[in-house]
Structure formats: C-alpha cells, structure tokens
Structure 1
Amino acid sequence: MSRFVPVDRDTAYLLPPSVDEWLPDDHLARFVVEVIEQLDLSDLTRQYAGRGSAAHHPAVLLGLLIYGYANGIHSSRKIERATYDSVAFRYVAANTHPDHDTLATFRRRFLKEVEALFVQVLVLAREMKLLKLGHIALDGTKIGASASKHKALSWAHANKIEAQLRREVQALLALAETSDRTALPDGMDVPAEIARREDRLSAITQAKAKIEQRAGERYQGEQQEFEGKQAKRKAQRDAGKKPRGKDPEPPQAGPKDGDQVNLTDEQSRIMPVSGGGFEQSYNAQAGVDTDTMMVITAHVTQACNDKREVVPTLKQIDTLPEALGTVHTLIADKGFFSQANVVACTQAGIEPLLAIKRQSHHEPLMERFASDPDAPQTTDAVVNMVHRLSTQVGKALYKLRKQTVEPVFGIIKRVMGWRQMSMRGLAKAQGEWNLVTMAWNIKRMHVLRAT
C-alpha cells in the first residue's frame, strides 16, 4: 500500500467542477468579489451602448484589476495570462478570460469613475464597522513616471541642439545647391536629411514653448510671493520696527538653463528620490487613518516637495460623506509645515500637528517624561500647534505618523510591487493612484475583518 497521495491527471471529473469550490472561504479573491458586488457600478455600466458582441461586465474587469494590483500584477497581459494560470484569478473572472486589450482599455476609460468608487469602498468599510475617522497621517512618496529621465530636454541643451540643427540644415542646403558640380557622400539623401532635422527642430520648438510657459507660471508665483514679503517688511517699517535679514531679491523672468521638459511624459517632473539621485516621477500623496491604516485621501502632484499639499488634502476631506465620521487631527512631517497650512487646518476645524523641525529618533529620558508646559495665552495658530506638539498627548499622536502612512507606502511599493505609473499624464497618474489605493484599502479591509 502506497503511503503517498495518489496522483491522477487522466480521469475526467464525474461532475462539472464549481468555481465556488476552488478557494478557501477566507481567500482575498472572494472578498474582492464580495466588495465589488456591493458597489454601485451604474456610472460604468450605462456607458456601454450594447452594440456588437457581448462585453465583459465592469464588475469582472474591475475585480481583476483590483485583485491584480493587490497582488503585485499590474500588467494587463499578465492579468490575462493569470485568468488561465491562477485559480484565484479564474474565480474573480468567473472562468472567463478577458484579453489584455479589453483590460487596458477599461482601465484607461474609467479612471475618473474609480475616484467615486474609492469613496464607496470607504463607506462600505464604515458600514462593516471597520473604519471610523479620527486622526489622519499625511505624507507623500515619489512614484516613477512611465518615462525615462534621459528623455528630458533642458532649456540650455534645447538651445544648443537647435543651433546645431540649424547649422546642419544650412550645410545640407549648400550641398544641395552644389550637388550638380560636387559628388555627395555615399548613401546621403539630402532632402531626407533636411526633413529629419526639420522634424527635430519642430519638436524642440514645441518643447521650448512648454518650458517658457512653465517659467512664466513660476515667475507669476514668485512675483506674488516677493510682493507679499515686500509688503510685510514695509508694514514693519511703518510700525517703527526693523525687519530681520536682507531685503528679498526680485525674481528673474524667463526660463533658466536647468528648466526642462520630458519628451515622453511632459507632465512628469525630475524629482529627488530616497537613497539619492533623481528620477522622472510624480509625487503621490496619501492621508492614512491612524487606527486602521486605510487610505482616506489620495492625490498626485507635480511638485517635488509637500509644502502645497495640505490644502488639496483638506478639500478632499471636506468632500467625504458625513457617514465616515469627522477628521479631528492632521499629522504630517516638517515638509508640510508653513504658517498658511497651519491656518488652513485651523479654519477647516482640524487640529494641525505639522512638525516644524526634524524630530529626534532618541528623545532624552527626562524630556520623554517631562510635564506638559503651560498653555500659551495667544490666538496664534502656529504657537498653539507648537505647544500641542510639546505635550505628552501631542507627542503620542505625532509618533503615529511613522507607523501608519510610511508602512502603507512600503507595502504598496514592496509587497504590491507598484513603483511606476503604467500610463502617462497627470490625470491618468491620478486615476491609477486611486486604483492602487483602493486595492490597498480592500486588501486592508480583508485583514481587519479577519481580526
């Protein structure tokens, strides 16, 4: 008698197998299907005209994308292949096999609708008693664009290449005029060479126009900031006070030599990344609930730093359904700090805890157990926030930031394997970030329900 489990691949099933028997009851694929079945997909289904061959239902396509992103499979071709190779993907697809073109088209077509579905998932989590808003930790992470930094063209290099191409065009025209008297180099087609350089000159002209437009927008912002500083210093002088430091220098109009545009994805930007160096990237922002580690707000920006990302986050919080509860505190590191951001939080009825300097990893023993300082008698929002950060309660709340939003980014990048956008352009990057964070939230809900 054999002590091994029999292996038989030839005998046919006596009864047709059921997809419901393929997975354990607590499998993530089952939970993804359950969640999507409870979402209102009418904004998606009504966009199908009903002509031609039968289409795959949006619930199936969305489920495949969500389960794929949650498990580190982002390519539509790999998802199509997984509907044949993976039992879990077969379950989500109900044993159908949407091709990669269908999946890719669906993802591009309905990115805007995913934003509303993202909120629906949060509401569902609240109904399942898995989420109740309170404290939000905000941070940003650089996500690679679907473009190489080597395809970026700077203002100085564009001018250099433009001048070189114009010289070459003139030289080719001169060759064309003397071609009846002077033999051309073997293999040279003068009209084709001129046309190729004219095409490159046209592309460079368009790139320079975009750089000039960005420089103009930057100049307007810097000019407004300069005028504000000048007005503030004038008011101090009028009040008999001497302003500190040197007078600010007026901004310079026009592009700088280092200003650049990417020829593949012009809306992405060269950004510094952790570990050193620069990459063509977007800055993905996430506001994470400190109790559940679920992403509550998500947006993508072209700014390298996080200074201007508090206000967009507050606007997103303001649009959330009342059923989710109330956000009491917004926690962020020093990269988000500015007086305007502190005031904006206060005006929105949210207590800001924005670090004003880098926090020490090893707080001295006596400071850790020191009594809270006396509360300041002032209405200054920044002074009151600094006092709050110095209290035991404030310190405990701020410490939650590192154990909520940073692990979420780590899991999304390392476990879910999502480090680069699949599509180009800011709007598509925003839509894909919503899809990624929705996949994270459903994955997180699955864990929370089990515990």
Structure 2
Amino acid sequence: MAQLDAVLGCPSLQVPEGHLARTVLGMVAELDVSRLETQYSSLGRHGYAPRNVLAVWLYASLIGIHHASKVARACQTDAAFRLLSGGYAISDGTLKRFRRRNGTFFADAIVQTVRFARERGVLPIEELAVDSMRLRAHASTKAVRTLKRSRERLEELATIDSDVLSPTEREGHEAKLKKHREAVKECEEKDCTSIVVTNESAALMKFPSGAGLPGHRVTVTAAGISERLVIGVLVDADATDSGKLEAALLEARSVLERAGAATSGLQAAADAGYFSEKDLQFSAHNRAWVDVLITEGAAATNTLPTKEPGLFDRDQFTIHPDRSATCPAGRLMQGPYPHHHGRTMWLGVGCGDCPQRARCTKGKQRTLTANLNLETVRDQMRERLARPGGRERYNQRIATVEPVFANIEDVMGFRRASSRHATTILAEVLLKILAHNVSRLLAARKLSCLWFQLEDEFWSTL
C-alpha cells in the first residue's frame, strides 16, 4: 500500500516501474530470510523488518554506496532507499550491526542464489573458473611489519652500544628492539612474510597498481562465461594464490551440493598463480569429480637456477623411470639421494676430465636436483591442456571470473574493507558477493524476457 509522507511524498509513486530498487525488492522477496527473522522478538523496542534492511544494503552495494553513514542519510532523502526501507530512516548503527552479525546468513543467501540459477537453467558447472582479487584492508602502511625488514633492523640495532645512549635514547632503542622482535616472532609463528599489527586478517600485498599495501585476498569460484555467478568465496591474508585451489573448489562443491546442483562432472580453469605442486597434486587426484586446467607458471621449471648463465639446466639431463639419471655427456650419475623440500639429488661422475665440463659446472662436480613429484603432475597437466579443446576451454577462464572482479571493484566501487575485525570483513565481502549474484540473476531474467518477446514477435510475423 502506498504511504504518503507530508513532506517527502510517497516513494511508491516516486520510484518508476522497472527501477533497480523495485527489481532488488522483488528478488529479496524470493529469498528465505527466516534465519534473520528468528533474531527479532515481538517484545521490547520496535525493530526494522530484516527483509527491508537487506534490500537497502543490496541496493546500496549495487550503486556503489558502502558506508553505513551514507546509506543512512540516503534512507532519509532518497525515494528509492525510502521505498526499500519501508519508509523508515534506518540509522547507521542499525545498518552496521546488521552487516556485522549476519555473515552466516549472507553465505546462506549466496547458496539460495545458486539454487535459483540452477532452477532457471543458468548454472553451467562445466564452465567454472577460480581466481582472486586483492581488497584494501582497513589499516595503514605504518602498521605493516615484514619478516625480512625486521630481521635487518635487529641486526642494525645490535651494533648500537646502548651504554653510550642517553636514558631517552636508550628507551627508544629498547622500544625498537621489542617491536621488531615481536614482529619476527609473530611472522615465524604464523609462517608468513608480513603482518599488520592493527589488523590480524591482513598482510602486505602487491596490488595491480604496483603499490605494496595492507590487504585481504578474496578467492572466488565463478560459473558461466555469460552468467558469471559466484558459487564459492574464501577470504584470507595470503600473499599469493599458490596452494588455494583445493580449498576454493571444495567450497564451491559444498555450495553446489547445498543448492541441489550436480557435484560431479565439474570443470574448472585457473591461471598460472595456481601452478604449484600442491594445486597440481589436487588436480591429479580429484579427476573423478572435477577436471582442472591450469596454465604453466614459474613452478613449471622445477629445478633451482644455475649459478652461472650458459650452463646445462634440467632439460639437458635424462631421468629414467627407475630414477637413475644420465648427464649430457651420457654418463650415469650417482644417486638418487633425498634432498630438502621433497627434492631428489644426483651427483656427476668423472666431471674432472669431462669434455662438457665448461658447459656443465664451474665446480669440481655437477649437482642436479629435481622435484620428481612436481614433474609428474606438471607433465599430466601439460598433457591435459594439449588435448583437443583443452587450450580453448582454458581461454574461457578470463571471460568467466575476471568480469566478476570488474563488477565488484569498478561498477560497484568496492575496493576497501570498512572494518578491522575478521568476522565483519568476511560478512562485508559476502554481502558484496551476494549483491553481485543478485545483479547476475536480474540480468539473466532480463535476457530471458527479451528472448521471449523476440520469439513472440517472430511467430506473429508468420
């Protein structure tokens, strides 16, 4: 029912048909929000309908308003926001609490959007792609501590004689020692290269602009070249993509299962950032339910670089099925011997009088190391990409997942988290992913309506 405000007027009459706010409201009406409604009671003070608050946040996210204070002001003056809020001026505190407390619901709502896509036939599970984006953290660069720099500073500070310092200088010296010792200890405990002292969920990351800034890594699994629906989300502080494919695809499979979609016959593509031994091992061992295509990265050359340019590298040596090795001169090498980090080592024989010595080693004996496990899964991935259609299918990756990041960062304008707390950061990211999925479902509905309209026009002309 249209409700008239004596000053601002009736938002139902002011917002035109087909407006984004109305389509968002219609989509929210399809979502099951019973999880939210159980948090409210008929006793005590009056609360806002959770469906209205959710609609406000989704619409605000889609048009690029991410600060609760700005959304609250829009609820007072903007007709579209007033329509979504039911005519109430929702406060910024209420909006923040809603976003902070409902991360679990946002994750469940994403599953619901995937279910809607399955029911409408716009969920191609054979067109999955995995990649990540970097999200600016709510932290200053002054709060960043790197393991390398802290160790260097501790060595520099150790050369200073504290006995010759004044009491004030000695106090500052001790504070610096404490700061860097704590940074080294925390980095070693977490097995990471950097920390952000004011934000435990962030780390130093290199952004596409080339700047090193505190950030979060958001790993996304998307489905469909044209649909681009997100079906899996992970948020962490890892500096690279390496080793994250397993967690990303298992999360995607869990979402598909909860949405009632098929969880076998999946096919996923990932870029060179996932060309690591762990990710390749996962791809090789899970082909029963997911076919993974990863293009080669730096890890494809599994040998350590030679100290001198022009020397023979791994490709000039032959490793036989029994794990014996032959050098470029055709001589059988000593070994194999276990080496560190899962590698295997062989030693040259007769290097002193070998005619190839100048091209093989500058020392007395050539040492060859290789990661045989990596070579095995690397060759399997090469063979998979070489099959008919393999490279073409991989090339579809960029059209599947990259537009997701373009929509979130450029269209929606979400590039920085607004909180330092891990639960709130995750809830905020899930809210933006939910808004993205809503926009994709609305786009699919629009195309479907257009198709039926064109079809009717075609048949009417016959």
TM-score, normalized by the shorter chain, greater than 0.5: yes
1:316 to 223, 248, 251: 251
2:292 to 319, 332, 352: 352
1:72-87 aligned at under 5 Å gives the runs 72-87=64-79
- Count, aligned residues: 355
Counterpart residue type for residue 285 of structure 1:
T
The verdict on how the C-alpha distance between 1:271 and 1:13 changes in structure 2, with shifts beyond 3 A counting, is closer
1:27-42 aligned at under 5 Å gives the runs 27-42=19-34
User: What is residue 279 of structure 1 aligned with on the other side?
Assistant: 213
User: What is residue 418 of structure 1 aligned with on the other side?
Assistant: 414
The verdict on how the C-alpha distance between 1:207 and 1:22 changes in structure 2, with shifts beyond 3 A counting, is farther
Query: Any idea what SS the aligned residue of 1:313 has?
Result: helix
The verdict on how the C-alpha distance between 1:90 and 1:386 changes in structure 2, with shifts beyond 3 A counting, is same
The verdict on how the C-alpha distance between 1:320 and 1:86 changes in structure 2, with shifts beyond 3 A counting, is same
User: Unaligned regions of 5+ residues in structure 1, if any?
Assistant: 1-11, 175-193, 220-258, 359-379
1:397 to 370, 387, 393: 393
User: What is residue 93 of structure 1 aligned with on the other side?
Assistant: 85
Cα distance in 1 between the residues matched to 2:423 and 2:89:
29
Matched, 1:334 2:272: yes
Cα distance in 2 between the residues matched to 1:210 and 1:102:
37
Cα distance in 2 between the residues matched to 1:120 and 1:162:
58
Cα distance in 1 between the residues matched to 2:74 and 2:406:
25
User: What is residue 216 of structure 1 aligned with on the other side?
Assistant: 189
2:229 to 290, 294, 304: 294
Q: 8 Å contact 1:286–1:297 — kept in the other structure? A: yes
1:152 to 144, 149, 157: 144
> 1:217 deviation in Å?
4.2
> 1:113 deviation in Å?
2.5
1:109 to 73, 84, 101: 101
> 1:209 deviation in Å?
3.7
> 1:295 deviation in Å?
1.0
What do the CA deviations read for 1:363-397 (whole angstroms, capped 9, x no partner)? xxxxxxxxxxxxxxxxx654343223224411221
Q: 8 Å contact 1:130–1:449 — kept in the other structure? A: no
Counterpart residue type for residue 320 of structure 1:
V
User: What is residue 404 of structure 2 aligned with on the other side?
Assistant: 408
1:7-22 aligned at under 5 Å gives the runs 19-22=11-14
Cα distance in 1 between the residues matched to 2:425 and 2:103:
9
Q: 8 Å contact 2:130–2:270 — kept in the other structure? A: yes
Matched, 1:137 2:71: no
1:23 to 3, 10, 15: 15
> 1:40 deviation in Å?
2.0
Cα distance in 2 between the residues matched to 1:66 and 1:409:
17
TM-score (norm 1): 0.70
Cα distance in 1 between the residues matched to 2:133 and 2:420:
18
User: What is residue 180 of structure 1 aligned with on the other side?
Assistant: none
Cα distance in 1 between the residues matched to 2:11 and 2:119:
28
What do the CA deviations read for 1:213-241 (whole angstroms, capped 9, x no partner)? 3313429xxxxxxxxxxxxxxxxxxxxxx
> 1:84 deviation in Å?
2.6
> 1:268 deviation in Å?
0.7
Cα distance in 1 between the residues matched to 2:233 and 2:295:
21
Matched, 1:442 2:442: no
The verdict on how the C-alpha distance between 1:128 and 1:161 changes in structure 2, with shifts beyond 3 A counting, is farther
Q: 8 Å contact 2:114–2:123 — kept in the other structure? A: yes
Cα distance in 1 between the residues matched to 2:145 and 2:238:
18
What fraction of aligned residue pairs are identical, expressed as a percent? 24
Q: 8 Å contact 2:201–2:236 — kept in the other structure? A: no
Q: 8 Å contact 2:151–2:180 — kept in the other structure? A: no
User: What is residue 61 of structure 1 aligned with on the other side?
Assistant: 53
Cα distance in 2 between the residues matched to 1:89 and 1:47:
23
> 1:297 deviation in Å?
0.9
The verdict on how the C-alpha distance between 1:93 and 1:217 changes in structure 2, with shifts beyond 3 A counting, is closer
What do you get for the CA RMSD once the two structures are aligned?
Answer: 3.3
Moved more, 383-392 or 33-42: 383-392
The verdict on how the C-alpha distance between 1:76 and 1:396 changes in structure 2, with shifts beyond 3 A counting, is same
1:431 to 427, 436, 445: 427
The verdict on how the C-alpha distance between 1:170 and 1:435 changes in structure 2, with shifts beyond 3 A counting, is same
Quick one: higher RCO (CA 8 Å, sep 6+), 1 or 2? 1
The verdict on how the C-alpha distance between 1:172 and 1:36 changes in structure 2, with shifts beyond 3 A counting, is same
Moved more, 128-137 or 406-415: 128-137
Cα distance in 2 between the residues matched to 1:114 and 1:286:
15
Query: Any idea what SS the aligned residue of 1:212 has?
Result: helix
The verdict on how the C-alpha distance between 1:34 and 1:13 changes in structure 2, with shifts beyond 3 A counting, is closer
The verdict on how the C-alpha distance between 1:204 and 1:420 changes in structure 2, with shifts beyond 3 A counting, is farther
User: What is residue 47 of structure 1 aligned with on the other side?
Assistant: 39
Q: 8 Å contact 2:125–2:267 — kept in the other structure? A: no
Cα distance in 1 between the residues matched to 2:5 and 2:253:
56
TM-score (norm 2): 0.68
Cα distance in 2 between the residues matched to 1:313 and 1:87:
40
> 1:435 deviation in Å?
1.1
